[in-house]
C-alpha cells in the first residue's frame, strides 16, 4: 500500500457523547433519557447538486438479522463524485442519505437471528445491500449503498447480515475499504465474464480505481496488461506494477494503434471499457478475435454506438457489468487472499477532511484509490 498522506493524526475517540434530554412533566416529576450519538455525513442540497455535511445522529440499533458495524475506513468512486453534481443529482432524492458505497470496519453488535457474523469480525459492505447471488433482481439493484441505500461515511452503520462479507486477513481496513465497487467491477469483467487466461492482452483505460485493479488482477492471472493514462508519471508507475506497455491517450490521439503495436499486432483479448464515448470505438477497433469487452463506464460520457457487426465478425463478446453480487465479492476475496493482493491507495484522508477527499478526486491528480479513515 502507498500513501501520500501518512499522518495518522489524532483519531478522535469514538464519539460517545451522552445527551441528557430532560422533559419536565409537571411540577413534581421529570423524565430523563440518554441518547447515544454518532457522527455521519449526509447529502444536503446545494445550489447545484449536493454537498456533504457532518451531522450528529442517534446511534443506530440492530433489528432481527441485522449487524452494527463500526466503520473504520471508506473509499471514493467516480460515482460518489458524480452524485454531488447536477447531472446525477437531477430529480434524485439523496438528501439526508449517507454517502459512499464502499467501506470496511468491525462488527460491534449483532441482532437476533444473525448467524454469519459475531462481534469483532472484520467486514466490508457489499455494494448492493440486497444482491446476494445470481443475476440480481430490480429490487436488489436498487439497494446500492451510498445512493438508494445508506452509505458507509458514518461512524456506525446498521445493515442486514447478507449485506456484508468478511475481509481478507492480510488487508488493513483502509485497503479492504477499496474493494466493494472498483475491485469487484474489474474482477467480474475479467474473471467472471471475460474468463481471462494467461498470456492474454488486456487493455485498461486510465489509472483510476477500476483500471488499476484491472492491472493488478491481470498480472496475477498471468495476462499481459497494457494501460493508458493522461499522465506519464502514472504510466511509469503502472510499468513498475506489471504493465507490459503503456500509451498516453492525451498526447497520442491514436493511442489504440500504439496498444495494438505493443501486442505485436494481435490486438487485445480483454478490455475494461471505463471511458465510454471516447474509448469504446477505439477499443473495439483493436479487439482480438474471440475477445471480450466489459462495458463499465462513461468517463467521457455514455452513448457510443456499438458496431454489432464488428463484434460479430471476430466472434467477440460484449457484456454489461454493474459491479457484482455478494457471491462474486466472496469469490474475489478468495483470489485476493490466495495471492495476497494489495490495492493501490493514493492517499488517505481523515474523517473530518472528507469534503477534501472529494475535491482531491475532482482534481484528477491521483492513481488508484482515495480513502477516508474513520
Ligand X SMILES: NC(=O)c1ccc[n+]([C@@H]2O[C@H](COP(=O)([O-])OP(=O)(O)OC[C@H]3O[C@@H](n4cnc5c(N)ncnc54)[C@H](OP(=O)(O)O)[C@@H]3O)[C@@H](O)[C@H]2O)c1
Q: Which residues lie below 8 Å from residue 358, measured CB to CB, with a gap of 6+?
A: 52, 76, 80, 81, 84
Tell me whether residue 59 or residue 277 sits nearer to ligand X (CB atom). Answer: 277
CB of 357 to ligand X, least distance (A): 12
Q: How far, rounded to the nearest angstrom, does the alpha carbon of residue 93 sit from its chain's CA centroid?
A: 21
**Separation CA 125–CA 77 (nearest Å):** 14
Tell me whether residue 150 or residue 368 sits nearer to ligand X (CB atom). Answer: 368
Three-state DSSP class for 274? coil
Residues in the chain: 374
CB of 299 to ligand X, least distance (A): 4
Tell me whether residue 35 or residue 252 sits nearer to ligand X (CB atom). Answer: 252
CB of 14 to ligand X, least distance (A): 29
CB of 257 to ligand X, least distance (A): 15
**Separation CA 321–CA 161 (nearest Å):** 24
10 Å Cβ neighbour count for 282?
Answer: 22
- Are 290 and 315 contacting, i.e. CB atoms less than 8 angstroms apart? yes
* Residue 211, CA distances (Å) to 56, 94, 272 in order: 36, 28, 7
Q: Which residues lie below 8 Å from residue 146, measured CB to CB, with a gap of 6+?
A: 79, 80, 83, 97, 98, 99, 100, 101, 102, 152, 153
Tell me whether residue 71 or residue 210 sits nearer to ligand X (CB atom). Answer: 210
CB of 301 to ligand X, least distance (A): 9
CB of 85 to ligand X, least distance (A): 12
- Could you tell me the three cell numbers for 140? 436488489
Residue whose grid cell is 454489461: 320
Tell me whether residue 139 or residue 232 sits nearer to ligand X (CB atom). Answer: 232
Tell me whether residue 77 or residue 143 sits nearer to ligand X (CB atom). Answer: 77
CB of 263 to ligand X, least distance (A): 18
- Could you tell me the three cell numbers for 365? 491528480
Tell me whether residue 115 or residue 363 sits nearer to ligand X (CB atom). Answer: 363
Closest residue to bound ligand X by CB = 208
**Separation CA 10–CA 85 (nearest Å):** 31
Which residues of the chain form contacts with ligand X (CB under 6 A)?
77-79, 181-182, 185, 205-210, 228-231, 234, 249, 274-275, 278-279, 296-300, 321-323, 361, 364
CB of 78 to ligand X, least distance (A): 4
**Separation CA 5–CA 11 (nearest Å):** 14
CB of 20 to ligand X, least distance (A): 44
Tell me whether residue 60 or residue 298 sits nearer to ligand X (CB atom). Answer: 298
Tell me whether residue 112 or residue 240 sits nearer to ligand X (CB atom). Answer: 240
- Are 371 and 223 contacting, i.e. CB atoms less than 8 angstroms apart? no
Nearest to 124 by CA among 324, 322, 333: 333
Amino acid at each position: 500500500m502507498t500513501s501520500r498522506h501518512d499522518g495518522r493524526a489524532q483519531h478522535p475517540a469514538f464519539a460517545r457523547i451522552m445527551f441528557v434530554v430532560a422533559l419536565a412533566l409537571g411540577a413534581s416529576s421529570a423524565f430523563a433519557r440518554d441518547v447515544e450519538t454518532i457522527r455521519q455525513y449526509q447529502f444536503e442540497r446545494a445550489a447545484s447538486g449536493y454537498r456533504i455535511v457532518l451531522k450528529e445522529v442517534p446511534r443506530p440499533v440492530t433489528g432481527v438479522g441485522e449487524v452494527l458495524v463500526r466503520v473504520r475506513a471508506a473509499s471514493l468512486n467516480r460515482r460518489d463524485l458524480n452524485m454531488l453534481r447536477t447531472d446525477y443529482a437531477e430529480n434524485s432524492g439523496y438528501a439526508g442519505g449517507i454517502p459512499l458505497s464502499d467501506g470496511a470496519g468491525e462488527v460491534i453488535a449483532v441482532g437476533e437471528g444473525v448467524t454469519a457474523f459475531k462481534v469483532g469480525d472484520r467486514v466490508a459492505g457489499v455494494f448492493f445491500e440486497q444482491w446476494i447471488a445470481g443475476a440480481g433482481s430490480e429490487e436488489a439493484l436498487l439497494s446500492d449503498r451510498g445512493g438508494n441505500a445508506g452509505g458507509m461515511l458514518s461512524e456506525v452503520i446498521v445493515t442486514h447480515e447478507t449485506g456484508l462479507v468478511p475481509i481478507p486477513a492480510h488487508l488493513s481496513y483502509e485497503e479492504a475499504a477499496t474493494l466493494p465497487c472498483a475491485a469487484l467491477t474489474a474482477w467480474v469483467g475479467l474473471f467472471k465474464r471475460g474468463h481471462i487466461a494467461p498470456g492474454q492482452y488486456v487493455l485498461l483505460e486510465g489509472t483510476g480505481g477500476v483500471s488499476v485493479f484491472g492491472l493488478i488482477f491481470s498480472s496475477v492471472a498471468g495476462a499481459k496488461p497494457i494501460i493508458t493514462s493522461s499522465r506519464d508519471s502514472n504510466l511509469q508507475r503502472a510499468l513498475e506494477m506489471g504493465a507490459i506497455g503503456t500509451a498516453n491517450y492525451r498526447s497520442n490521439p491514436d493511442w489504440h494503434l500504439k496498444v495494438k503495436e505493443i501486442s505485436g499486432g494481435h490486438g487485445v483479448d480483454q478490455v475494461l471499457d471505463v471511458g465510454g464515448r471516447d474509448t469504446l470505438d477505439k477499443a473495439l477497433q483493436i479487439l482480438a478475435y474471440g475477445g471480450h469487452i466489459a462495458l463499465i463506464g462513461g468517463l467521457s460520457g455514455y452513448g457510443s454506438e456499438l458496431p454489432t457487426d464488428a463484434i460479430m465478425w471476430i466472434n467477440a463478446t460484449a457484456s454489461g457489468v454493474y459491479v457484482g453480487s455478494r457471491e462474486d465479492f466472496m469469490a474475489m476475496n478468495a483470489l485476493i487472499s490466495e495471492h495476497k493482493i494489495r490495492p493501490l491507495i493514493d492517499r488517505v484522508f481523515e474523517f473530518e477532511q472528507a469534503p477534501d477527499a472529494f475535491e482531491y478526486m475532482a482534481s484528477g491528480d491521483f492513481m488508484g484509490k482515495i480513502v477516508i479513515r474513520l
